[in-house]
Amino acid sequence: MMKKRVLLKIGSNTLTKETDQISRGKIEDIARQIAKLGNEYEFIIVSSGAIAAAKQFVKLEHNGGEINVKQALAAIGQPHLMRIIQENFRELGLFTAQCLLSYSDFENPKAKSNIKNTIDILVSNNVIPIINENDTVAADEIQFGDNDKLAALTACLLKVDLLIIATNTNGIYTKASLESGHPETIPEVIGIHSLQKEISISKSSHGTGGMQSKIEAALIAQKAQIETWIVNGLSDNFIIDALENKSQKTKITSLLDPKKM
């Protein structure tokens, strides 16, 4: 049986559970679900959290500009983040590999081919790629979107069946419900243009994105006929619950192929 390929994007707020440090419990929760789903699904993970991981260990002086400090923090935090992920995943018999990418890689046909071939080999050998932006040499995600766009570009390159973006809300809420103080999830839309008027421009506390960057990611995925789900990664069992329709989420289907999933 062909497994369905899922790209799971995990933001900093999910990995920290909205605290000031990486949550081993959340990483274990993710690993447990992936292990349980292993017969039907293969996963590629795009993970933020390197800067949050570094902040647990060091405080750097701001003598090189804010972006440079964040790049330095990312360089410190990335190996710590990978160590925590590897330890928790290995306990469940899951093997992982680190892949650091930059936007320039997606503009270079040879680099794109190399990325796809490498990740395909990893996945076919039951190794889970853990992808992050190479923040030491590129600051795009530090400034513009907490890996949401990187996740969408990677999803398209790898021709995944589903893009799941884990965040700290139950999907996208209607603007009116937010204004009334009673958030109400938009369960499903075909295309994304109707969502533009609903989204908030605010950004999350640890991440650099917000719902706008997730909408933009969904647009990139939609052009490749890839369905996007925006789910609440703070909840335990959030991947399985989303797949089994046991939780609230926003499902953004393709205009060209609304019944792909």
Sign of CA dihedral 108, 96, 30, 73: negative
Query: What CA–CA distances, in Å, run from 189 to 19, 231, 249?
Result: 32, 14, 11
28: left (phi over 0), alpha (psi -120 to 50) or beta: alpha
Domains and CATH numbers, the chain: 4-253 (3.40.1160.10)
Pick the closest to residue 147 from 195, 95, 102 (CA basis). Answer: 102
The pLDDT value given to residue 166: 97
CA quadruple 111, 116, 121, 123: dihedral sign:
positive
- Cβ partners under 8 Å of residue 235, min gap 6: 241, 247
For residues 183 and 94, give the distance between their C-alpha atoms in angstroms, rounded to a whole number: 37
- pLDDT tens digits, the chain, 261 residues: what are they? 799 999 999 999 999 999 989 999 999 999 999 999 999 999 999 999 998 899 888 887 665 567 788 888 889 999 999 999 999 999 999 999 999 998 888 999 999 999 999 999 999 999 999 999 886 665 565 554 568 999 999 999 999 999 999 999 999 888 888 888 888 999 998 877 777 677 654 444 444 447 888 988 999 999 999 999 999 999 999 999 999 999 999 999 876 544 444
Which residue's entry shows tokens 């960057």? 213
pLDDT value at residue 1: 78
Task: Report how many helices (DSSP H) and strands (DSSP E) the chain contains, helices first.
Answer: 11, 8
Strands (DSSP E) contained in the chain are: 4-10, 41-47, 95-101, 127-133, 162-167, 188-190, 227-232, 250-253
Q: Answer for the pair 147, 13: CB distance below 8 angstroms, yes or no.
A: no
Residue 114, C-beta contacts closer than 8 angstroms, at least 6 positions apart: none
Q: Do 17 and 49 contact (CB within 8 A), yes or no?
A: no
Cβ proximity of 163 and 131 under 8 Å:
no
